[in-house]
Amino acid sequence: MKNVILNERQVFFFELGRFVNQFSTSESLVFLFLADLLKMNKDECNAITSGAKIEVCCSYIKRVYEARSTEIPNDVSQCLDQVSIINKLRNDLLHRGATSDFTVSNEVRALPGRVESYKIDLQMLRNATQDLSKITMTLNLVINPVDDISPERERMKEVANGPWRYKPPSPINNHQKNRGNHQAPKPPREPSRG
């Protein structure tokens, strides 16, 4: 097989593809975890959650535990928190895109003074992808708690027990960029007379 040399931009898009694919898998596991928690089959759960985004499914999971007055298992709670953090990255990358220098920004559509941007690098993408694998493996092990010692199951446990790797990037200081765009504060609203 011939070795192919990729430039940094090609590697970025390769890693972005891996990230999006793993996000989709993790999203499916969050949905399946919800169905399992509700003791529903997939079709019944689809009837209720069809079209629900991942943050909605995470919220439903938390609410079910709350309604049952049961504490969410720590590993599940951590997965829900981390998938929420990674979901912001996913939304930013897919809805804002990244510039040629790997800056993610809402500059094109932001109101004056509300520009948000940050740099992303390959390691951040790889870390997020690894955390999504951890989420997938952890939820899979909770849904299917079999005491199997197969090499595949042991690998799943190893990934599930690994550290969290992705940390959200710090925003780029947009103060100077937005300095001339400040609007006067809005006057207070008058109370409604009802």
Per-residue pLDDT of the chain in tens (194 residues, 90 and over written 9): 678 787 888 898 899 999 999 999 999 999 999 999 999 888 898 888 888 899 999 999 999 999 999 999 999 999 999 999 999 999 999 998 888 788 898 888 889 889 999 999 999 999 999 999 999 999 999 998 877 778 888 888 899 999 999 999 888 865 444 444 444 445 455 555 54
Residue 133 in any domain: the answer is: yes
Residue 161 in any domain: the answer is: yes
Question: Could you say which DSSP state residue 12 is in?
Answer: H
Residue 161's pLDDT is: 92
Cα distance between residue 69 and residue 177, in whole Å: 48
Domain count, the chain: 1
The angle subtended at Cα 139 by Cα 26 and Cα 67, nearest 5°, is 110
Residue 23's pLDDT is: 97
Helices (H), 38-107: 42-49, 54-67, 74-95
Residue 2 in any domain: the answer is: no
Cα distance between residue 141 and residue 156, in whole Å: 8
Residue 179's pLDDT is: 43
Residues spanned by the domain of 73: 8-174
Residue 30 in any domain: the answer is: yes
Residue 78 in any domain: the answer is: yes
Residue 14 in any domain: the answer is: yes
Please name the residues in contact with 117: beta carbons below 8 A apart, sequence gap of 6 or more: 103, 104, 105, 106, 107, 171, 172, 174
Cα distance between residue 101 and residue 84, in whole Å: 26
Residue 138 burial by Cβ neighbours in a 10 Å radius (0-12, 13-18, 19+): buried
Residue 49's pLDDT is: 84
For residues 106 and 115, the answer to whether their CB atoms sit within 8 Å is yes
Residue 194 in any domain: the answer is: no
Residue 181 in any domain: the answer is: no
Residue 17's pLDDT is: 94
Residue 1's pLDDT is: 66
